[in-house]
Amino acid sequence: MTDSRIDYYAVKKHAHDHGDHDHSHDDHAPVAGEDEGPPSEFAIMSRAMQEILEAKGVITAEQVTRRMEQFEEDFPYRGSRVVARAWTDPEFRKRLLDDGKAACTEMGVDLEADRLIAVENTPEVHNMIVCTLCSCYPRALLGMPPTWYKSRSYRSRVVFEPRAVLKEFGTELPDNVTVRVHDSNADMRYVVIPMRPQGTEGWSEDQLADILTRDTLVGVTVPRVRT
């Protein structure tokens, strides 16, 4: 399921203008019927393990459900808000760059076990995030990673040919801009602070958060003012 608000590429591909997409959260509420066909052996395995552990009192069904809800309804919306604040508040931006986790805590965003390094785009530098070894991602800030982030192609090629991969996302950068790839292979997690585009002067944080899609915060696209 792709919420256009968190999948910039989906918006771009279908050339929606600003009025078209709905900002409500109902678009992507879990729908049991969205799956197709019988469950796979792995779906069965996962369900079986969960029930064994529930029966043994190791976990409860409510804990798992609550966690699902957090991943769906809470985590995906935090990153845009944090970076929108950095766009409007230069002192907050400094604090975010200095200690990402503490700055998030300031905004009531609990990153749990993750530590955060924010990296800022400038006219000279474009940042891009990957985890080649698995798919480390700041989940408590951005929600679950998109399928492309977890794919073999992304994981193997971004470190070797970032500009070619950016092009596949529709992003082209001139040679006088440094592409700086971050392979988040250990304890740190990363978020990109994109450059704020022209035409956003006087915008509210909500409006700014709206163009700070997930894809811009991972560094595969840049925010665009939709006209």
Partner 1 sequence: MSAAGGETGSAQSRPSTYTPAPGHRYEVGDAVRVKRRYPPGHRRTPHYIRGKVGTVERICGAFPNPEELAYGFDGEPKKVLYRVRFVQKEVWPRYRGPARDLIEMEIFEHWLEPAGDTGGRT
Partner 2 sequence: MTMAGAKAKLEAPNGVDEMAEKHPNRGPQDIGGRKAGPVDVVDHGMKFWERQANALRSTLSGKGIVKRDELRRAAEDLRDYSKLQYFEITTSALRTLMIEKGYMTEQELKAKMDEVRARFDVPDEMESPLKQKAAQP
Residues known to be catalytic? 131, 134-136
Nearer to partner 2, 159 or 177 (CB): 159
What residue 157 binds from partner 1, partner 2, none (CB within 5 to 8 A, per partner kind)?
partner 2
C-beta of 215: minimal distance to partner 1 in Å? 20
**Tokens for 67?**
């966690």
C-beta of 6: minimal distance to partner 2 in Å? 8
Query: Under the criterion CB under 8 A, does residue 185 sit at the interface with partner 1?
Result: yes
Stretch that binds partner 2, among 17-25, 84-92, 117-125, 160-168 (CB under 8 A): 160-168
What residue 61 binds from partner 2, partner 1, none (CB within 5 to 8 A, per partner kind)?
none
Q: Where are the beta strands (DSSP E) in 124-211?
A: 125-130, 178-183, 188-193
* CB-based contact 213:6 (threshold 8 Å): yes
Query: Under the criterion CB under 8 A, does residue 172 sit at the interface with partner 1?
Result: no
Q: How far apart are the first and last CA of the chain?
A: 25
Quickly count helices (H) and strands (E) in the chain. Answer: 12, 4
* Rounded distance between C-alpha atoms, residue 58 and residue 47, angstroms: 15
Query: Under the criterion CB under 8 A, does residue 132 sit at the interface with partner 1?
Result: yes
Query: Under the criterion CB under 8 A, does residue 195 sit at the interface with partner 1?
Result: no
Q: Which residues of 48-64 are buried (b: 16+ CB within 10 A; e: fewer)?
A: eeeeeeeeeeeeeeeee
Nearer to partner 1, 8 or 190 (CB): 190
